[in-house]
Structure 1
C-alpha cells in the first residue's frame, strides 16, 4: 500500500550572508504510518571547506536535538512533547540561521520504515562510485 509522506532536507549554512550550504540530514513525516523521524550525517571536511572555523561540536549537538525532537524524547525539550505533526511543522519552519531546512516536499512510498535512510543516502551522503568507469 502506498503512503503519502512529507520530507525536508536539513542544511548547514555556516555563513548565512554567503548563502552557501551543505545538506546534513532529513526530516520525514508519514502520518499514515504514524512516523516522524530524522537522520543526520554531518561531514566535517565538507563543512570546513565552506567555513574552516565552523564549530562542529556545537552544530552536531543541535542536529542531534532535531533527532530527539522527532522521536519525542523527554530530553528534546517542550517541542518534543507536541503532537508529531506539530513537531514536523515547527522543525520545518523557515528560519535564517546556521541550521535551516529546505522547502517541504511530498512523495509516496510503500516502505515508510526505510524512507529516512533512503532519503539520507539520496539527498545527503556522497554518491557512490560510478559503475563501469
Structure 2
C-alpha cells in the first residue's frame, strides 16, 4: 500500500530514537491515534451490498473488519481488512470484475490530517511547542 514521508519529521524522529525503548511506546501510541481518520474513512467507503454474501455470513461485513495492526519489527501501524480477503478483489478488480477502490482514495482523502496528527502527537509526547 501507500507509504508516505512527512516533511519535518526527521528532527522529531531523531529525538525519538535517542529515547531508546520509550520511543517504541510513543511511536505506537501516536500512530494508533493518528491513523484513526484514515481507518474511519476506509470503513465509510468500504463497498457494501444490500444482500448478505456467503463470505459475510462467515467473516462479517467488510467495513466491520477494518482493523489496526501494529508491526513491532518495522515499528509501523497498518490498517488491514482482517479476514475480508475479498477486499483486494474489490480494490484492484479481477479479470471478470471492475475495481471498486476504497482504500487508496481514503488514504489520499485523509493523508494531510494523519500527517498533522502524527506531528502533533509526537510534539505533545516530547513536550515540544
Which is richer in strand?
1
Is TM > 0.5 for Structure 1 vs Structure 2? Answer: no
Give 1 or 2: higher helix fraction.
2
Relative to the length of structure 1, the TM-score reads: 0.28
